Structure 1
Amino acid sequence: MTMQRRQFLGTMAAAGAVLGAPAVFGQAKPRVVVIGGGAGGATCARYIARDSEGAIDVILVEPSEVYYTCFFSNLYLGGFRDFESLGHRYDKLASDHGITLARDMAAGVDRDAGTVTLAGGEMLFYDRLVIAPGIDFADGSVPGWDLSKAEIMPHAYKAGPQTQLLKAQVEAMPEGGTFCMIAPPNPYRCPPGPYERISMVAHLLTQANPSAKILLVDPKEKYSKQGLFEEGWQRHYSGMITRIGPDFGGDKVEVRPEAMEVVIDGEVERVDVCNVIPGQRAGAIAEAAGVTDDTGWVPVNPHSMASRADPKVFVLGDASAQGDMPKSGFAANSQAKVAAMVIRAELSGSKAFPAKYSNTCWSLIATDDGVKVGASYEATDEKIASVDSFISQTGEDAALRKATYEESLGWYAGITADIFG
């Protein structure tokens, strides 16, 4: 069922023994509260509810009625998808699986009491807690930029209005203007994402503003799929894209949003659009729950995705520090299934199997020019470890690249159905 906040509060007051108290053997079903309705949280909620066949109550805390996927949002920027195709509702999670949707923000977690407090003041008791909040941005990562400047220099790294704003800015660039991206330092959400975005902006500009230039300012010496992207940029967008790495000041950058200036190692560049992708950390509720470490991420048990600070709290996807897996939608979905299996076993006595994980990240460079990277993983006591990996190769023929792109379309349709029902 779906509840708006006022209705949710009224229901809790009337039925506090069901929603407002910890589970008691013989009196109530065990309860799992899931914070965050993205690829990790929604998948985990769905699999626990579906596979427990009603034996476990699941409450999904998510303020948005529609979730827009960050994965594939670059294709919207490039003109390969419409914005509505990125949006997914939670209705089927409620109607098909009996998940209770709490339309509110999680404001706090008391792990000793086993409670989550919502922004509206409601309190949810849990037997197990899943935190899947995605990312927030690291303060001071790019001097001169903070969230108050995102309407001038958008990050567009949380899909939604920011994605639409960035595309509108690119489309409004003057003829021969300059698009600049400030790429993030490691670790961050979707390692190939900034470079696919450069590709998609280049594709858009070649259609409408072919004399425009792209300036990529990057603090990293190397990045995911570098050879594939650079081969593709040379083939499709020769002369348009310039990358400035740390050897030339890419790690010494500040921005002046009101003046639309980027300062690179003391040199001022005037730009027309600036996409600032800052350094990142786990979503703020993870820190509020007391499960992050000094890096800003959450160390987890590779066998279960449980926080190393609290075995009753599971942390999925981008927020987790788990080892070799990248921060991606595919990875979050894979981790969620392991966590759901473990939680179900702990609360209902079902069988749990050894954890196995997988990931693939597709990127589109130009029309029908798709590439991918991925791996399979196993849990060790130390980390989630890669055991077998693959990557597209430079020089592949057009038919293979087209097939790779079409494979990605099938994956998107399949994973969004797996997440949202």
Structure 2
Amino acid sequence: MPNRLARVRQEEQWTKARLVHELRRAAGSMALPGDESMKRRIAVWENQDGAVSDFYRELLCAAYGRSAPELGIAGEPEMPSAPATVDDALPIAFTRLDLGVVALLRDHTQSIRMLDRRLGGALTFKQAVAHVEQIEGLLRHALPGAHREAAADELGQAAALAGWQALDMGDVREAWRLHEIATAAAREGGQIAGLAYASAQQGYVLLDAGHAVDAQSVMEFARTLAGSGVPAVLQAWLHAAEAEALAALGQRDGVLRALDAAADALPGDTGDDSLPFVMLDAGHLARWRGHCLARLGDGKAIEDLTDALSVMGEGQYGRAEVGLRVDLALAFAARGDVSESRAHALRGAELAGRTGSERQRRRISQLLAA
């Protein structure tokens, strides 16, 4: 049954900001996530009928002065069970998470992310997977509350990163497994942004597996899920991701519309501390546009890709430069310039060897064999 949270807030004539204020007052000394994060969480509860954890159920009841059944968020009744004896007790050591632990997990994820951007996944993948397993272990016995949900959000980000590395290394099965962890963790954390991002990345797994129609459907779902409830830079990223799926389907008009929507959504200031997993500015979007045009066999991609390469700078982003070089090789080949195409393909092959990008090596092999 859908909850009544949206209707109750309307009855109270409260804005989301007012509800956040009342939740903080009900929480007392317990720290809650930032205002924007809380507003996105409220949107999930009200618009997506997202599950409300025990911790937030109590806060909502206190804030509104109503019972859980009145709000439509009552938990399922538990079946009566026999009293546990000492022998039946499980030897569980419960984890008490706090802001310090969550900050350490976040810093470690960011460290792996930055190394990955420079060096590729081959050198950091095992570390990324170990990090995912570590957070999973902490969450398995963590007590409910805001800190657990914040740790779940970190698990989602770490798993999405490791899943992307697995995909880049050519392991589609492992990439899918890790993205399933990422989407489940994002749901527990109540983060629309993290869920939309991980879902869209899962579309790339489908693309590499040869299921372009399904990939486009998943990316459209992710974009629709996010709506206007996520920062503008992520909205732009989701439009561009869908453009790439449409390019794989050869839908030129759809590609151009999606790229234009991405450009319109992209803010002037793309820095957002709440989205460390999104790296997108005008230069990166030009690279994305060039990539989509190259997949369509459009020689006009060369200008966008050349501009993106000059902005990026050689050696700054290993894996991204590999993809850009391959796209340039494709674009020059479409224009009939075999010499330039081969030069970029060879440079891409050199970089792919350093970063361990199996998916780009496959693209390069096809180019050089042509």
TM-score by length of 1: 0.27
Instruction: Kindly name which structure, 1 or 2, has the bigger radius of gyration based on alpha carbons.
Output: 2
Greater relative contact order (Cα 8 A, min sep 6): structure 1 or 2?
1
Considering fraction of residues, name the structure with more helix: 2
